[in-house]
Structure 1
Amino acid sequence: MESKNIILKYLFTIFGHLLFWVVVYYFYSYFLGYGSTNTAYVNQFSGFLMPVTILISYFLIYYLIPNYLLTKKYAYFILYGVYTFIISLYIIILSILYGLLYSEGYKEVETVPLTKSLPFIILGVYFVVLIIVSFSLIMYNYKSIVSNENLNNKILQTKLQIKNQELRFLKMQIHPHFLFNSLNTIYGFALNKKDEAPEMILKLSNLLDYILYQIEKPHVLLIDEINHLLDYVALEKMRFNDTLEVKTTIEVANKTIKIAPMLLIPFVENAFKHGDIINGKLNVSIYIKTEDDTLIFEIENTSIEENKSKKGIGLENIAKRLDMLYSNFYSLETSQIATIFKVKLIINNLKK
């Protein structure tokens, strides 16, 4: 099928060239014989101009222009262009002389067969060549633009694939140690036959379901992400027992707002993993609010100031993901005030 298309393409190109040169031939006949009634002589003479016109045109558009002009070898192009002009002028004059000689038998008595003088005939040939070269340069420029666009599209596709792979890698960094911790806690609960074990298994099942089926989506409903986050907090409460105090404030007016999946949990996970128990408690405060298409997320946790450099899975990785997903539409601030470590995230222009 592909070879058939290539053959059809070449046949179409050949047909187009033949059609064009037929038009050029009739142009010569009209141009040279305008006002003359001796059409046989004019047609015979025009035939002698065709080979030289074709030769010069194809030499310019298939050799001189692509090898020197388009490759920016301007000095060589000018030099060989001058040579081409001198040689082509000589060949055109010879063609005209042979045309006049071999068309002599077609002259009619008391008629002027040609209405153009020698300089006009030469200018006519170069006029046709100029049109062909101009059209060729336009086509080269068009092909160059198309080629550059295709190349840019391939580069963008490659960048997008790399971005998606990196994004998937960053998302995968979120799960492992939390899952292991939760499974270890459930194992401990099961050994001690605690009543919380079945509930913990159910919530972990919900989390795994969300992770497996939602994380591949580009966007999920914010309310689903919050419910996922609350299940995670509930699991951590069971794991920490009486040493964890979590306060959550949710003010989401618009239920249709969407965000990237697993975007908020890393901050919460960081707070639990790297927060410090002070006076027998790890205090965590979570605040989520929406205003039109803007999300405001704040989280605070107790932290000893000397430990504030610890990043766990890394605010740096989280910032990379935000850069990929929301570029210039977000702000991320962290601060340590006394024994409180605070993160504030604002995302604008969220999908609905």
Structure 2
Amino acid sequence: MARLVSSPPNPQALLPLLPVLVAVLAETVIRLHNDVAQIQSHDFGVHGIWALYWSPALQLLAESLPLLIAQFLLPSLSGWRRYLCWTLGFIAYPACSLALQERLLDNRELMLGVPFWGLAAGLSLMYWLHQAYQHLPGARSRPSWWRYLLSLDAALLLCLGGWVILMSGIFVYNPDPMHNQPLEPRLDIGQMLRQWSLTLYYLWQFSLMALVVFAYYWVNRYLLIRKVLAGRGVYLFLLCSAGWLLLSYPLFGALVLQLPLNIAELSLLPSENHNPFDTLNLLVATIIWAVSLPLILAFERQQSARELAELTREQARAELKVLQQQVNPHFLFNTLNGLYALCLAQSAQAAPLVLKLSDLLRYVVYQGQKPRVSLEDDLAYLQNYLELQQVRAGRRCRIETDFRVPDGKWQIAPLLLIMLVENAFKHGAEVSQDECHIRLSLRIQGTGLDFECNNSLPRRPANQRPDSMGLANLKRRLQLSYPQRFTLQSEAQEQHWHARLRLQL
């Protein structure tokens, strides 16, 4: 039986903090770039630049403390408490902070602005959506659009979309950007909305460049890796990759040169000239291929492992159903034998026996196929079975029960305990010509169940008792329903057979 022991702190508990920490670092870098003119006009030195970096980072971290607390608490909450915690941390607190900025006593402006707020909330939502996708069962049965939203393709498109908006915003902020290099890396959403026609002008051109990058990724993943590498091996994969890069980079370069943003002195190509065959363009295309390769391979491996785990779970569920169905004929065979014997003897107990049998079969049919049932119902089923067997065995067999179950909504896999009791009758009372006894006890300690079944054996060597199909069935069901959370002992002790089952409910 598994025991609950104290464990060291789990570093994975800090993973929910990543969205807020990434937003803090991103906002710090953006503010540092916005102060590039100040840095260039003053000789700050290395230590001075680091001071300009850490000062806003620490202030942002302090102002983001409620967001970090909300992210840390969310995994331990459920239901409406989880939604309330996220709403307080990512909506109520930032809204109140922005509303009270002008009333600060020292008139110091807070750094928690609308862009940072939106970035932190968006990254947090994406994180929890991804967690929901990872942990909910039946990933393959979900709608295709849901799976695509949380795929590597969607993540790359989101990153490229952010890059398009960022570059368009920088070009909108800087007048005549192609002739006024280098550009000041500043993003002004208000200005982009006011000059919406100019924003669209830049958006579609940078979107085309982003689609070129996505085309390299798509060919690398779906053609080169899935078709060539998986089916033909590494050598042909490298050859096809080299051919694809050598053929595509001048074609895509010529396509980018058609954009209106290109001027005579400067182009949007990595080489910044009008030569699509420049080796720098080939180098950038190779870098895109090389960077995307390990990311794609890692994601493909994770996806394959997830699909394999899902198939394993489905196979285990199917096997468990088959095992549960095997209980029914095994039980029915033993019970009908007793009913047949009473009918031959024309016993008045046959009619009540039929009623009890119908109750038992009703439980098997309607409850036996469920993954979990109430422990109280399963014990009631067991009591009915014992009464049925007592009628059959008469005074020759003494049955003692001691069930102590505290109040609570305990759940258990159905028809587990009955299998030990059936074996006790099958290999004890049914084959013995002398008086026999069966003792059953059940205890609940914490969340652990301790069930013992002790029965007398006939006068023959105990080690000759064969292992029954029911006991093998029970072991397999426990492995599927309670992996690493049960112990089952079954052994002879002098003229008794002792079976003990411990499991965590």
Q: Does 1:248 align with 2:404?
A: no
Match of 2:450 among 296, 305, 308: 296
In 2, the alpha carbon distance for the partners of 1:278 and 1:164 equals 33
Match of 2:369 among 207, 212, 216: 216
Pair 1:127–1:33, CA change in 2 (3 A): farther
Deviation readout 1:177-228 (Å, 9 max, x if unpaired): 1232133134235x2xx33233222222221221121111211111211111
Q: Aligned-pair distance for 1:309?
A: 2.5
In 2, the alpha carbon distance for the partners of 1:92 and 1:333 equals 70
Q: Does 1:187 align with 2:343?
A: yes
Q: Does 1:338 align with 2:494?
A: yes
In 2, the alpha carbon distance for the partners of 1:67 and 1:154 equals 26
Contact kept in structure 2, 1:220 and 1:258, CA below 8 Å: yes
Partner in structure 2 of residue 328 of structure 1: 484
TM-score, normalised via structure 1 length: 0.65
Alignment of 1:27-176 (within 5 A): 71-72=228-229, 74-75=234-235, 113-114=264-265, 121=273, 122=278, 125-126=281-282, 129=285, 133=289, 140=296, 144=300, 148=304, 151-152=307-308, 155-156=311-312, 158-176=314-332
In 2, the alpha carbon distance for the partners of 1:335 and 1:289 equals 20
Deviation readout 1:306-336 (Å, 9 max, x if unpaired): 4643233332221111111111111111221
Q: Does 1:178 align with 2:331?
A: no
Deviation readout 1:62-85 (Å, 9 max, x if unpaired): 778866666455555666777777
Partner in structure 1 of residue 439 of structure 2: 285
Q: Does 1:309 align with 2:462?
A: no
Deviation readout 1:133-157 (Å, 9 max, x if unpaired): 4786588558736853673365245
In 1, the alpha carbon distance for the partners of 2:455 and 2:213 equals 78
Contact kept in structure 2, 1:57 and 1:133, CA below 8 Å: no
In 2, the alpha carbon distance for the partners of 1:274 and 1:93 equals 82
Match of 1:206 among 346, 356, 359: 359
Partner in structure 1 of residue 426 of structure 2: 273
Partner in structure 1 of residue 390 of structure 2: 237
In 2, the alpha carbon distance for the partners of 1:195 and 1:68 equals 79
SS at match of 1:203: helix
Q: Which amino acid in the other structure matches residue 440 of structure 2?
A: I
Gaps of 5+ in 1: 6-12, 36-52, 100-111
In 1, the alpha carbon distance for the partners of 2:354 and 2:322 equals 31
Q: Does 1:319 align with 2:470?
A: no
SS at match of 1:265: helix
Deviation readout 1:15-62 (Å, 9 max, x if unpaired): x9xxx9xx9xxx9xx998667xxxxxxxxxxxxxxxxx9xx9899767
Which structure exhibits the higher relative contact order, with contacts defined as CA atoms closer than 8 Å and separated by 6 or more residues? 1
Q: CA RMSD in A?
A: 4.8
Q: Aligned-pair distance for 1:229?
A: 0.9
Pair 1:134–1:238, CA change in 2 (3 A): same
SS at match of 1:229: helix
Q: Does 1:196 align with 2:374?
A: no
Q: Which amino acid in the other structure matches residue 250 of structure 1?
A: F
In 1, the alpha carbon distance for the partners of 2:382 and 2:252 equals 84
Q: Which amino acid in the other structure matches residue 223 of structure 1?
A: E
Pair 1:188–1:309, CA change in 2 (3 A): same
Contact kept in structure 1, 2:220 and 2:293, CA below 8 Å: no
* Bigger Cα displacement from structure 2, 154-163 vs 220-229: 154-163
Q: Which amino acid in the other structure matches residue 327 of structure 1?
A: P
Deviation readout 1:80-114 (Å, 9 max, x if unpaired): 7777778889999999xxx9xxxxxxxxxxxx942
SS at match of 1:285: strand
* Bigger Cα displacement from structure 2, 60-69 vs 273-282: 60-69
Deviation readout 1:277-320 (Å, 9 max, x if unpaired): 66821211111111121111101111143464323333222111
Partner in structure 1 of residue 107 of structure 2: none
In 2, the alpha carbon distance for the partners of 1:93 and 1:187 equals 92
In 2, the alpha carbon distance for the partners of 1:207 and 1:94 equals 79
* Bigger Cα displacement from structure 2, 326-335 vs 71-80: 71-80
Pair 1:255–1:306, CA change in 2 (3 A): same
Contact kept in structure 1, 2:220 and 2:289, CA below 8 Å: no
Q: Which amino acid in the other structure matches residue 280 of structure 1?
A: D
TM-score, normalised via structure 2 length: 0.47
Pair 1:89–1:67, CA change in 2 (3 A): closer
In 1, the alpha carbon distance for the partners of 2:246 and 2:385 equals 85
In 1, the alpha carbon distance for the partners of 2:432 and 2:252 equals 99
* Bigger Cα displacement from structure 2, 135-144 vs 281-290: 135-144
Q: Which amino acid in the other structure matches residue 175 of structure 1?
A: F
Q: Which amino acid in the other structure matches residue 287 of structure 1?
A: S
Partner in structure 1 of residue 201 of structure 2: none
Q: Does 1:260 align with 2:413?
A: yes
Contact kept in structure 2, 1:68 and 1:74, CA below 8 Å: no
Corresponding pairs, count: 300
In 1, the alpha carbon distance for the partners of 2:333 and 2:252 equals 84
Partner in structure 2 of residue 45 of structure 1: none
Pair 1:283–1:64, CA change in 2 (3 A): closer
Pair 1:327–1:182, CA change in 2 (3 A): same
Gaps of 5+ in 2: 1-144, 146-156, 182-208
